[in-house]
Amino acid sequence: MHKNNNWHKETAMIHEGYDSKEHQGSLAVPLYQTATYVFDSAEQGEKRFAGEEAGNIYSRLGNPTVSVLEERIARMEEGQAGLAFASGMAAVSAVLVHVTKANDHIVCSRGIYGCTFGFLKILEEKYAITHDLISMGTEEEIEKAVKPETTCIYVETPINPTMELVDLQAVVNVAKRHNLKVIVDNTFCSPYIQTPLTFGVDFVLHSATKYLNGHGDVIAGLLVGNDKEEMAKLRGTVQKDFGGVISPFDAWLLLRGIKTLPVRMDRHAANAKILFDYLKNHSRIEEVFYPFDDQHPQYEIAKKQMKTGGGLISFTIKGGKEEAQKLMNHLSLVKLAVSLGDAETLIQHPATMTHSAVPKEEREKMGVMDSLLRLSVGLEHMDDIIADLEQAFQFI
Ligand code: LCS
């Protein structure tokens, strides 16, 4: 396997974990589209199952294309080991099952993705694993939420879809005092913008469906940990036996997407800044949320842990659901779709879409109002996107 610890991140995203000499000179990582592997002998099969001989067994347990992806994401996040899953939710659920047992308690950031919220409800209803969604403005606030049965802190930063930030250093400081595991969902940033493990976090995960793939054609999840043995345990238990592994073809597409992550992220962020400047002065808009807004109260946190402001902007329009839906219905170049991180600029209405499963009262506590819209800024020329938004704003 190709490894060079001196490589910059941009280089590692193209080369880490792959040596063409081991694959007949193939420049691109070959796609091992196979379910199983042929043993040389019964004894070899026995040894592989017993863990006494390294080698392939069955693609739910490991696949050469997937292994390159896992090494690459581990390096990108500056972790010790990576695991690839069939979806972001498969990664979320696997790591939460790994770090909890019945009757435990989880401290969560004030806002989380709607289906992550749904999974926490399953843990609560079936296994009495409770959670509290709290504002994490200060270490004291976080500390107050910790109970004797708390085992982990689960954080999104920026939070989907409000763009509120959580100070990673503050979370880690509290976690260390109480011996808690910290899990960070880094989907909104990608490892090009933010690397939570470098702050002392234990696990970082992604909906790789988003920026990491970047082309809107894959559903996948990735998890990276700072402890090799613990990740091996997770691979051999929850991942293997729940079975939510990535397909080799999706891993192959992801490896292709990741090569261009730095150039895409720089353009997403540059375009988002153009759009932010347009939106913040718009007469039909109430408030715009973007982490690299120098007027934003959390700008200091943003600069401490993020390289750029990323490609997501949310905003509240004057009015409510009706005005939000009218705006969306009059857009044509900006696509009305959930998901994010693609070349296409996407808009969605969290209250009725990504966060519709969260009851209204809890949704509003997260800051997800009916007037809130989320824009995933794409790679188009922003004059065209602004022209589309401007004509649609005329209808509300
Ligand atoms: N974490 C975050 C922050 C997400 O935004 C999503 C999906 C997931 C985890 C789950 O990943 P998946 O299983 O879909 O790969 N977020 C979506 C969104 O905001 N719009 O559509 C999906």
Predicted pLDDT at 297: 86
Q: Which pTM does this prediction carry?
A: 0.97
CA dist 94 and 83 (Å) reads: 10
**Number of folded domains that form the chain:** 2
Q: Is 307 found in the same domain as 218? A: no
- Provide φ and ψ at 383, rounded to 5°: -60, -40
Segments forming the whole domain that contains residue 297: 262-393
Q: Which of 187, 189, 123, 109 is nearest to 154 (CA)?
A: 109
CATH number at residue 347: 3.90.1150.10
Distance (Å) from CA 119 to ligand 1 centroid: 13
pLDDT bracket for residue 296 (50, 70, 90): confident
Going by the DSSP 8-state scheme, the letter that residue 315 receives in this structure is E
Distance (Å) from CA 221 to ligand 1 centroid: 9
Q: Is 253 found in the same domain as 382? A: no
Q: Is 280 found in the same domain as 230? A: no
Q: Is 286 found in the same domain as 251? A: no
Domain contains 4? no
Q: Is 376 found in the same domain as 249? A: no
Predicted pLDDT at 2: 67
Distances (CA, A) of 231 to 22, 79, 120: 26, 10, 22
Lookup: tokens for 87: 């979806």
Q: Is 123 found in the same domain as 45? A: yes
The average confidence (pLDDT) of the chain is 97
| Amino acid at residue number 330 | H
Q: If you search the block for the tokens 């940990």, which residue do you land on?
A: 225
Q: Is 131 found in the same domain as 159? A: yes
Q: Is 220 found in the same domain as 133? A: yes
Predicted pLDDT at 111: 96
Q: Is 165 found in the same domain as 67? A: yes
Q: At what angle do helices 248-258 and 64-76 cross, to 10 degrees?
A: 40
Domain end (from 258, 284, 311): 258
**Ligand 1 in reach of 213 Cβ (< 6 A):** no
**Ligand 1 in reach of 211 Cβ (< 6 A):** no
Q: Is 233 found in the same domain as 352? A: no
pLDDT tens for each residue of 324-371: 999 999 999 999 999 999 999 999 999 999 999 999 999 999 999 999
**Ligand 1 in reach of 342 Cβ (< 6 A):** no
Burial (0-12, 13-18, 19+ Cβ within 10 Å), 200: middle
**Ligand 1 in reach of 156 Cβ (< 6 A):** yes
Domain end (from 258, 282, 300): 258
Domain end (from 199, 229, 258): 258
* Site to substitute for ligand 1 among 209, 211, 374, most atoms within 8 A of C-beta: 209
SS (H, E, C) 79-109: CCEEEEECCHHHHHHHHHHHHCCCCCEEEEE
Q: Average pLDDT in the 32-52 region?
A: 98
Q: Is 237 found in the same domain as 286? A: no
Q: Average pLDDT in the 64-74 region?
A: 98
Distance (Å) from CA 15 to ligand 1 centroid: 27
Residue identifier of the C-alpha nearest atom 22 of ligand 1: 339
Domain contains 51? yes
Domain contains 2? no
Domain contains 1? no
**Ligand 1 in reach of 160 Cβ (< 6 A):** yes
Distances (CA, A) of 201 to 126, 148, 152, 167: 28, 20, 11, 12
Predicted pLDDT at 5: 76
Q: Is 320 found in the same domain as 370? A: yes
